[in-house]
Structure 1
Amino acid sequence: MSSSTTKIVLGIAGGIAAYKAADLCSKLAQAGFQVQVVMTDGAMEFIGQSTLAALSGRPVATRSFDPRFPLGAHIELVRDIAAFVVAPATASVLSSFAHGSADDLLGTMYLQNTAPVLLAPAMSYAMWHQPSVQRNVTTLINDGCQMIGPEKGWLSCRVQGVGRMSEPTKIIEAIRAIV
């Protein structure tokens, strides 16, 4: 499948690493991918919808009940996609997906999705190393999700450690490998 016909959902969760999602979205669009951005409420606290709409060339989806999608956004937005990518994937999103929660648009889309899933975790060192987070990661890997990162580096909590979201170029390499 060529990138010019490849549809990607880019889910963005509410973590400081959401700023990197703008660069990822831009790089995907420049590579010819059709990017549909979906943002959680938390993500909108870190980065604006207008930025991602401009970079993707498409309106950003944020709500489960949206009149633009008469069959339901969770159904229409995952139709014919090649990959379902979440970057950053926060501890909250990992938990939601691992437990099958459908309490927001991103979680409902995950449950509706049949395409390969790539998750790029990003959180503090302490959060990443919590047993509950690691159980959720193991569950998601066992469910067939692929993970990229997190990486070791400078974190927004002013420490160095594992928890940093992988760089957009690495995420794009991983996307290319699964599509």
Structure 2
Amino acid sequence: MSTTAPRLALVVCAAPPAAAIGDLARLLMDDGWVVDVVATDAAREWIDMDTLVSLTGSPVRVQARQPHEPKAPPPDAVALVPATFNTINLWASGVNNTAALGILNEALCAGTPIVAAPYVKEVLTRHPAFDRNLTILTQAGARLTETDALRPDVEGGPYRWRAVVELLREVKPPRP
């Protein structure tokens, strides 16, 4: 009987919550997930790579796998946190030119559960492509938090990671 914990690919984009993504990774690990972090190239500057490696026990992936490198185990679920305007629009359009977008596109096509927490400037939420692309992604099976779900209750306060944790609990595969 296997007691392996479910594996989560945590895809991180460049936005303020990325600086505190270790807090979310801890919550997810406490909730029983094995967390593998994949960061967009822009997010590399926002995150503490050494802390995430120490916390999760695996390297943070930014670049696509090289031919001589082993394939990572497939995730049981994917979380896109924070999901930026740029990444949402590229992902919905099927662009597949980064490790992060590759994970998102493969998961979407494979039916792997995906939770995304949009973190977008309010003005950009009015862009006509944004709503259309959110609709495309939800119709394809992605689960989204509210656009402002992560925003702190007070300026400088903690990010509200529970919105992500709760949606991931709904898609967490049972383990024998």
TM-score w.r.t. length of structure 2: 0.83
Aligned residue for 2:145? Answer: 148
RMSD after superposition: 2.5
Correspondence 1:28 to 2:28: yes
User: What is the aligned-residue identity percentage?
Assistant: 25
Q: 1:68-87 maps to which residues of 2 (within 5 A)?
A: 69-70=69-70, 76-77=71-72, 79=74, 81-87=75-81
**Aligned to 1:32, what secondary structure does the other structure show?**
coil
**Aligned to 1:63, what secondary structure does the other structure show?**
coil
Mark the CA change 1:68 to 1:10 in structure 2 (over 3 Å): closer, same or farther: farther
How far has the Cα of 1:137 moved from its partner? 0.6
Aligned residue for 2:165? Answer: 172
**Aligned to 1:24, what secondary structure does the other structure show?**
helix
- Between the aligned partners of 1:146 and 1:3, the Cα distance in structure 2 is 27
Choose which of 97, 104, 107 in structure 1 pairs with 2:101.
Answer: 107
Question: Deviations for 1:114-154, whole angstroms, at most 9, x for unmatched residues?
Answer: 21111110021111222211111111111111101222756
Structure 1: which 5+ runs fail to align? 71-75, 159-165
**Aligned to 2:23, what secondary structure does the other structure show?**
helix
Q: Which moved more, 1:13-22 or 1:86-95?
A: 13-22
Aligned residue for 2:135? Answer: 138
1:88 counterpart letter in structure 2: P
Q: Does the 8 A contact of 1:83 with 1:117 survive in 2?
A: yes
Structure 2: which 5+ runs fail to align? none
Spell out structure 1 runs of 4+ moving beyond 6 A.
none
**Aligned to 1:144, what secondary structure does the other structure show?**
coil
TM-score w.r.t. length of structure 1: 0.81
Mark the CA change 1:176 to 1:154 in structure 2 (over 3 Å): closer, same or farther: closer
